[in-house]
Amino acid sequence: MTQATSVFAAAFAPFADLAQALLAEGATGDDGSHDVAHLIRVWRNVCRLQAEEGGDLRRLCAAVLLHDGVAVEKNAPNRASASRLAADKARGLLARLGWSAPDIDAVAHAILTHSFSAGLPPETIEAKILQDADRLDAIGMIGAARCFYIAGRLGSGLYDPLDPLAHNRPLDDKAFALDHFEVKLFKLAANAQTEGGRRMAGERQARLRTVLDMLMQEIA
C-alpha cells in the first residue's frame, strides 16, 4: 500500500479501510478522466444523493471504487462491455474480502447498470444513485474539461471550423469534441434516476450550456 493510496483512501470516509483495499483495483490505466480524482468526485456526489434518497452507503462505496475497474477506451469496439467486465471483476474482489452474496450482487448490479454505453436500467436505489453520481461528473464544468481531455486523448478535433454546431452536417463526436455535447452530454440530465440527481444535473447542465455559449462567442 503506497502512501498516496492511504491519503486518497481518507477521502472515502467512513470507509477508508475499504478504499485502501480497493483503490488500486478501481483506478486502472492512465486515463485522467477516470482516475482517482474521478472516483473521489463520484463518491462526493453519491454521499449527497444518498443523504436524500437512502440506500446502503457501504455498498455504494464499493460500487464507486470499482465501477471503472476495467479500463476500456471510449473508442474501443468492446466499450459497451466495460461495465460488465468491471462488475465481474468486482464480484471476485469482494468475495475475497468476505462480502455476503446479497451485498456482492447489489454492488455488481450497480456497476453493471451505471454505464451509458451499456444501456441497462438500474433497478435498486444504489444502482440509481451510482448512475446519477457518475453522470453528474460528465456534465457541468468538470464535464466540459473531461470532454475536451478525452477528445485530445483520442485525437479528435475541438470543433468543425466551418460548422461548429452541426447545422448542416451530421453530428460526429468521434471527429469533434464539441459534437459530444449534443450527442450525449445534454441528454444526461433528462435521464437522471433520482430527484436529487435531476436537480443537481439541471444545475450542471446550465453550466455546460454556459461553456458552449462562451466558446461560440470566442470562435464566431
The residues spanned by each domain of the chain are: 1-135, 138-220
| Model confidence, pTM | 0.90
Class of domain 1-135: mainly alpha
Q: How many CB atoms lie under 10 A from the CB of residue 191?
A: 13
In the predicted model, is pLDDT for residue 182 greater than 90?
A: yes
Task: Report the pLDDT averaged over residues 122-128.
Answer: 96
Same fold flag, 1-135 and 138-220: yes
CB 87 within 8 A of CB 63: no
Task: Report the pLDDT averaged over residues 157-162.
Answer: 96
In the predicted model, is pLDDT for residue 2 greater than 60?
A: no
* Band of residue 197 on the pLDDT scale cut at 50, 70, 90: very high
Alpha-carbon distances, residue 128 vs 11, 147, 197, 203 (angstroms): 22, 23, 9, 19
Domain 138-220: give its CATH architecture: Orthogonal Bundle (1.10)
Give the chain's mean pLDDT: 90
pLDDT 10s digits, 38-83: 999 999 999 999 999 999 999 999 999 999 888 766 655 566 678 8
Residue 1: its pLDDT value, please? 41
CB 26 within 8 A of CB 72: no
- Collapse the DSSP code of 6 into the 3-class scheme (helix H, G, I; strand E, B; otherwise coil) and give the result: helix
